[in-house]
């Protein structure tokens, strides 16, 4: 079940977001925070059956807070992550080849378990020999096993011949260079792993348990597959560690529509733990693959402005389709022109999107009013993307850790435009609400790392070197964007999704956030993790 039918009383608890010189008793009944009472000498909190209730005494030393949410996860990919070769630290194509060569003989990657050998997280911003990573080189080191080597972001990959033969290019494999980008790369996802559902479901269950140890109780799952039936099966088999908003892509909407469901509705047979999530539309590519759609061309290639997947008419049709069935949207837009065109098309729809709809990533935005030639009239019009973003009542769903991963790529591929990249503070100052996520496995699901990056715009031990210092977020703003209730503190009457922390997160610097210890996580009144 998604919630507890019992009573839990947590005493002598400092509460995050409340006066820090007070202690409180929090009473949870049937999965809901029924009362929060300030304690004082001689005052006793009664009104419950002590014999039937679980009592927990924090002794004034641990902090009670809302639990955490991750607004952008690819759960299956994240689960597969641990069974793939992490190539993130490779500093050259030559090093990638050496690491993969060793992995081919590593028992952890036994071909009897997985026919394909998959590498992930290649970051080529500083490679001196990028052109060295070819299909022919991959064939040399792995003539008998398919190789799929993915660049960070999962928007592009390199393959050997055996891997290509599994794709739609198999018949013409000899003529193909083995580099797959955007949709061609996405189309390979279903064939990357040969593990069966039972194995993968167990990996996903372990990811849910791991998330609970970090205080996470809720995710938005934007996996690219028919996810309703997948999550029904996982829940039936005991996966009840997270609330899941199950995202839809265009080809999946019928799954919900045929059941008479839309965003926010409970998925049948999951006891309210799984809900239909947003309708995701991917409008452009990514920075690392130089396919994020921008107003300016990429360095060294005056014809490459990135990729925008839809003509305005087609994107408009998709938006109207989602509106017809009352779905919330999750619109992927990374480049500044992709954001501009997406916002403009949404603004011209028959109605505003449902509240709670998001622009996913919003990595580069025009921060000032710009002049754009209207394609229909040929006239110059003034546009302010931040104002339009706010007027549409959209949420910016951002992934702070991408900033650390991509800062070198920003300098390489968006030179002179870095000030428009990851404009967190500017988004907030414009009155646009934000939500934090990871895009796991592109970045690990770790809300504490995301918070640390938000308030420093730098990675661990690099805090003295922030990327565009003026865009640093205030801690309380970032905290509210990370909690499951969207607030800084617990409130009476809300569902009992909470966690016990070793210290007050609102009093921490980046190091303190990264070191945060979670001692307990409760979902709907039920402990999903406890270290006491």
Domain annotation covers residue 256? no
Average pLDDT (2-21) is 90
State residue 394's pLDDT score.
98
Is residue 284 within 8 Å of residue 336, measured between CB atoms? no
| Confidence (pLDDT) at 194 | 81
pLDDT digits (tens, 9 = 90+) for 24-81: 999 999 999 999 999 986 555 666 667 678 999 999 999 999 999 999 999 998 998 8
- Asked if 396 and 523 sit in the same domain, the reply is no
Claim to verify: residue 355 and residue 424 sit in the same structural domain? yes
Could you tell me which residues come within 8 angstroms of residue 118 by beta carbon, excluding any fewer than 6 positions away?
A: 80, 84, 85, 147, 148, 149, 150, 192, 193
Which of the listed residues 192, 209, 233 is the one where a domain comes to its end? Answer: 192
CA-nearest of 346, 380, 387 to 366 is 387
Residue 270 lies in a domain: no
Is-contact 120 85, C-beta < 8 A? yes
Which residues fall within 8 angstroms of residue 110, CB to CB, at 6 or more apart? none
Tens of pLDDT, residues 140-172: 999 999 999 999 878 899 999 999 999 999 988
Residues 118 and 62 in one domain: no
Instruction: Single out the residue in 149, 165, 192 at which a domain terminates.
Output: 192
* Beta carbons of 56 and 9 less than 8 angstroms apart: yes
Q: Express each pLDDT in 356-391 by its tens digit.
A: 999 999 999 999 888 777 777 778 888 899 999 999
Q: What would the mean pLDDT of 122-148 be, rounded to a whole number?
A: 94
| Same domain as 27, residue 104 | no
Percent of the chain residues past pLDDT 70, beyond the cut = 97
Q: What is the pLDDT of residue 108?
A: 87
> Do 288 and 413 lie in a common domain?
yes
- Is residue 233 in a domain? no
Burial string for 384-396 (b: 16+ CB within 10 Å, else e) reads: bbbebbeebebbb
Any idea what the CATH number is for the domain that residue 175 is in?
3.10.310.70
CATH code for position 12? 2.30.40.10
Same domain assignment for residues 294 and 426: yes
pLDDT band, residue 3 (cuts 50/70/90): low
Assess whether 293 and 426 both reside in one domain. Answer: yes
Report the pLDDT value the prediction gives residue 5, as an integer from 0 to 100: 76
> Which residue from 367, 365, 349 is spatially nearest to 357, judged by alpha carbons?
349
* Domains contained in the chain, number: 3
Q: What DSSP string describes 391-408?
A: HTT-EEEE-HHHHHHHHH
Question: Is the pLDDT reported for residue 231 higher than 90?
Answer: yes
Q: What is the pLDDT of residues 245-261, one digit of tens each?
A: 999 999 999 999 999 99
Provide the pLDDT for residue 266.
98
DSSP code, position 46: -
110 pLDDT more than 80: yes
Whether residues 411 and 287 fall in one domain: yes
| Mean pLDDT, residues 340-368 taken together | 96
Same domain, 57 and 98: no
Do 289 and 426 share a structural domain? yes
Query: What confidence tens digit (pLDDT) does each residue in 311-325 have?
Result: 989 999 999 999 999
31 is in which domain, residue-wise? 1-67+489-532
Q: Is residue 204 part of a domain?
A: no
Cα–Cα distance measured from residue 332 to residue 342, given in angstroms and rounded to the nearest whole number:
9
CA atoms within 13 Å, Cβ hemisphere of 224: 14
Summarised one tens digit per residue, pLDDT across range 467-481 is 999 999 999 999 999
Cα separation, 445 vs 450, in Å, equals 9
Shared domain for 98 and 186, answered yes or no, is yes
Q: Which residues make Cβ contacts (< 8 Å) with residue 318, sequence separation at least 6?
A: 250, 281, 310
Domain final residue pick, 192, 213, 233: 192
Residue 196 has pLDDT above 90, yes or no: no
Q: Model's pTM, two decimal places?
A: 0.88
* CA-based nearest residue to 286, from 367, 361, 344, 190: 361
Does 312 share its domain with 413?
A: yes
pLDDT number for residue 1: 47
In a domain? residue 105:
yes
Residue 325: Cβ-neighbour burial (10 angstroms; 0-12, 13-18, 19+): middle
pLDDT computed for residue 42 by the predictor? 54
Q: Residue 469 domain-assigned? A: no
CB 451 within 8 Å of CB 476: no
Q: Evaluate whether residue 115 is within a structural domain.
A: yes
């Amino acid at each position: 079940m998604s919630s507890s039918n019992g009573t839990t009383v947590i005493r002598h608890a400092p509460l995050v977001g409340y006066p820090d010189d007070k202690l409180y008793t929090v009473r949870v009944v049937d999965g809901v925070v029924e009362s929060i009472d300030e304690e004082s000498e001689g005052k006793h909190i009664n009104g419950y059956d002590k014999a039937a209730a679980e009592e927990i005494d924090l002794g004034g030393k641990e902090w009670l807070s809302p639990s955490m949410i991750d607004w952008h996860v690819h759960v299956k990919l994240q689960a597969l992550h641990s069974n793939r070769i992490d190539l993130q630290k490779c500093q050259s194509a030559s090093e990638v080849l050496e690491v993969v060569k060793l992995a081919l003989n590593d028992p952890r990657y036994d071909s009897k378990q997985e026919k394909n050998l998959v590498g992930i997280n290649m970051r080529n911003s500083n490679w001196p020999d990028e052109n060295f990573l070819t299909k022919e080189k991959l064939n040399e080191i792995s003539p008998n096993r398919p190789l799929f080597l993915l660049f960070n972001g999962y928007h592009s990959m390199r393959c050997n011949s055996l891997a290509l033969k599994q794709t739609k290019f198999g018949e013409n494999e000899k003529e193909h260079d083995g580099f797959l980008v955007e949709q061609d790369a996405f189309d390979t996802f279903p064939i990357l792993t040969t593990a069966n559902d039972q194995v993968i479901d167990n990996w996903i269950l372990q990811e849910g348990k791991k998330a609970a140890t970090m205080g996470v109780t809720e995710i938005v799952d934007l996996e690219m597959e028919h996810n309703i039936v997948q999550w029904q099966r996982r829940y039936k088999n005991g996966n009840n560690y997270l609330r899941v908003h199950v995202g839809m892509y265009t080809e999946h909407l019928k799954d919900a529509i045929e059941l008479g469901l839309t965003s926010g509705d409970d998925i049948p047979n999951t006891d309210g733990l799984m809900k239909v999530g947003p309708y995701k539309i991917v409008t452009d590519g990514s920075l690392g693959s130089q396919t994020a759609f921008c107003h300016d061309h990429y360095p060294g290639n005056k014809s490459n402005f990135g990729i925008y997947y839809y003509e305005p008419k087609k994107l408009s049709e998709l938006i109207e389709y989602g509106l017809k069935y009352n779905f919330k949207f999750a619109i992927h837009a990374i480049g500044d022109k992709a954001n501009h065109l997406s916002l403009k098309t949404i603004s011209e729809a028959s109605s505003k999107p449902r509240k709670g709809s998001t622009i996913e990533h919003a990595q580069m935005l025009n921060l000032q009013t710009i002049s754009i030639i209207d394609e229909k009239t040929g006239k110059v019009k003034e546009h302010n993307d931040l104002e339009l973003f706010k007027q549409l009542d959209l949420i910016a769903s951002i992934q702070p850790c991408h900033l650390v991963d991509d800062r070198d790529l920003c300098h390489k591929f968006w030179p002179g435009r870095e000030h428009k990249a990851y404009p967190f503070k500017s988004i907030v100052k414009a009155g646009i609400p934000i939500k934090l996520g990871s895009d796991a496995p592109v970045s690990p699901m770790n809300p504490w790392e995301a918070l640390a990056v938000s308030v420093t715009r730098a990675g661990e031990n690099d805090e003295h070197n922030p990327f565009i210092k003026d865009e640093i977020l205030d801690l309380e703003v970032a905290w509210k964007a990370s909690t499951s209730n969207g607030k800084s503190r617990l409130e009476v009457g809300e569902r009992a999704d909470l966690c016990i922390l070793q210290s007050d997160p609102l009093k921490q610097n980046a190091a303190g956030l990264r070191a945060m210890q979670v001692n307990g996580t409760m979902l709907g009144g039920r402990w999903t993790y406890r270290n006491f």
